[in-house]
Amino acid sequence: MLNEKIKDLRKSFHLSQTELAAELNVSKQCISNWENDNVQPSIAMLVRLAEFFSVSTDYLLGFREDENSVSVEGLTEAEKAHIKLLIADLRRC
């Protein structure tokens, strides 16, 4: 399941394996191995993948299916309202 999530996210970002590898400072072969379920990324790399794709590690590991959830913990109400406005603006585009 992790391999499919990585591949699906990479494609949704319109990145090749080579481009994702460059972003994460790993080899293309590394990305290929993850996507073909030959090797699992390390815990540290799992965190980097989650940060890069703006998803949770839970989502990558299949514990949470909602890839669109965003933590607003620690933000003020004004900051939360600003994020909601940004999302509304993006939906209109």
The one-letter amino acid code at 70 reads V
Determine the pLDDT at residue 69: 65
For the chain, which residues score pLDDT lower than 50?
Answer: none
pLDDT at 17: 97
Q: Hey, CA dihedral for 27, 32, 17, 60, is it positive or negative? A: negative
CATH of domain 1-93: 1.10.260.40
Where along the chain do its domains lie?
A: 1-93
Stated pTM of the model: 0.69
What was the pLDDT predicted at 45?
97
Q: What is the pLDDT of residues 21-36, one digit of tens each?
A: 999 999 999 999 999 9
pLDDT of residue 87: 81
Residues 40, 2 contacting (CB under 8 angstroms): yes
